[in-house]
Structure 1
Amino acid sequence: MAVVIFLKLQRKYNAQENIEKLLKQYGSLAPRRYKIMSLKKITHSFQAKLGRGGFGTVYEGKQSDGRMVAVKFLHDSTSNGDEFLNEVVSIGRTSHINIVSLLGFCIKGSKRALVYEYLPNSSLDKYIYSENPKTVLGWDKLYEIAIGVARGLEYLHRGCSTHIVHFDIKPQNILLDEDFCPKIADFGLAKLCPPKESVLSSMADLRGTIGFIAPEVFSRGVGVVSTKSDVYSYGMMMLEMVGGRKNLKPSAQNPSEVYFSHWIYDRVAEGGDIAASDMTNKTEEITRKMDLVGFWCTQTIPANRPSMGRVVEMSERSLDELELPPKPYITSPRQSMDLEPYSQHSLDTMSVQSIDSTAPLSNSEPSDGLR
């Protein structure tokens, strides 16, 4: 028994020693390191809870200089902390108006915490799923938010020094500042790509949220996991912004409504509308553009989706320059699955319908979505 306790203590000591060496190696590149007691003071003993997700709980905090922050305490971890620190440093070095700023971190034993800038207008889902979201934000602002998120993703994929695949783009992870400028948040599932690469060479686990996860993540025969997996999630989010409801609808009576992009595609292809009936010509053009961009982003084969740079370009073009892409032909995971990020274990219980055998798997050079 004494030997077991000694070995555990030795491993704990070695892990902490490795962390200190890694922090010394990063030097000034590492974000500010907070102590647990400092975070307890900042959050007033964790009084104000902002939210809870699959990876931790977020609390409102106020620093001594009066600056508001959001402190996210992650679930206890048994890892040695190296991967956590690598991602903290990589994300901490990002700098973009549409990426939430990481101000600092805390790591002590199994405790992990992240300190972010505070964004007062909460997350995008609070607006697009409300009773009348378009009267709160308006279509122009929604469109600005969509383009802002696209620019943030383009930066993560190609603009920053370490390319990052987020893997959990959804309305809940898009935070809004005082001017409703969108900022991509929650990098709990993010993976770092090798420099000058956009494809992940290995994936030990599956990651994402049911309803937004790309087909290639749970069905590797479709294609490789890459930055295009974020493009798919972005497209689903874009369609939700227009439709004003979650893309998984367990109460749907019509089976075609279960797979959200199919339901929207059929309505748009037939000349119908999925938004409010009292729109102007300008807002009709905005919703149509959002639909078309969303359809291109949710193409089944990753190679047939545009890059995020192309998405930004498409969003800034006129409606007449955009084409309607082919209809996606793969169904989504079973709609009764819980809307939480999942791991390899939950894949065993996932029910995924087959790819339509009449639709060819094409890896040919895709259209750019422009006429």
Structure 2
Amino acid sequence: MIPSQAAYPATRFRRTRQSPAIRALTQENTLSVGNLIWPVFVRDGEGVEEPVPSMPGVMRRSVDRVVEAAREAADLGIPAICLFPYTDPAKKTRDCAEAWNPENLSNRATRAIKAAVPGIAVMTDVALDPYNSDGHDGFWRDGVILNDETVAALVKQALSQAEAGADIIGPSDMMDGRIGAIRQALEAGGHSNVMLLSYAAKYASAFYGPFRDAVGASGALKGDKTTYQMNPANSDEAIRLVERDLREGADMVMVKPGMPYLDICRRVKDSFGAPTYAYQVSGEYAMIQAAAQNGWIDGERAMLESLMCFRRAGCDGILTYFAPAVARKLAGA
């Protein structure tokens, strides 16, 4: 669409910027608390809130404190909370059996949240890296990630999360065929209402470092993840991956990281019209926080601007560690 407009001075673009009221009337995109998903890290213990040094303001919380965080989120109007476990290294094994243990951290936290705060949606992560002594999202053997063996394990992990009460399951592993396999298993297991938010276009990014610290995966990782996560140079491939996952039964799709890949968000939304999400990942969050703490930028304005860019790029929602702060700001608190 090419708009038709008169030449200057009949057209003066500054007319629509002259006051807060006029700017509000002509604003093209909005950010609301309903667009937010809050990622939260859960660890063993009781009454624990342990700071993550590389992510200022972010905590690893014991299950009881995660329940408190869920109450906070619900009170702020945040519709969903996403759980990521910090697993005891002693429970990390090459067979990753803790991933589908009904009593693992993620499942215990899910049940506790659903019992205490039933109105909030709980999203969980499907990937083996929090449970893998090799630090990878899949089974690693002789320097190779085993795709099909990993998918079978991911199916067991997803079923255990559904049985614990997860509303949204987020496969973040990037194995081929896992969405179809998980969807089929959920249907067969009586979990037809459980949603799949697929990390469909997840790039092999340098922006994940603080997250890997937060879940305790960075020290265990052998090699890198470039054989299964996407090449940052590729755009058309992302569209093919999203199309595949939607065909296999994904209800929603995600682009990860967020701000460095806004072009991908826009292409995905324009191409499919499906519910599209982005993850403002740990490195993005940490950079804004670090710059703000050093007085180099206005942290609050940068936070809001960074989230509005996702909406402008076509995202229906954003996973962001800023979620509570944004919700309070939007509510005028």
- Range class of TM-score, shorter chain: under 0.3
Bigger-Rg structure (1/2)? 1
Query: Which protein, 1 or 2, shows the higher relative CO under an 8 Å CA cutoff with sep ≥ 6?
Result: 2
Question: Which has more strand, going by share of residues?
Answer: 2
Query: TM-score normalised to the size of structure 2?
Result: 0.28
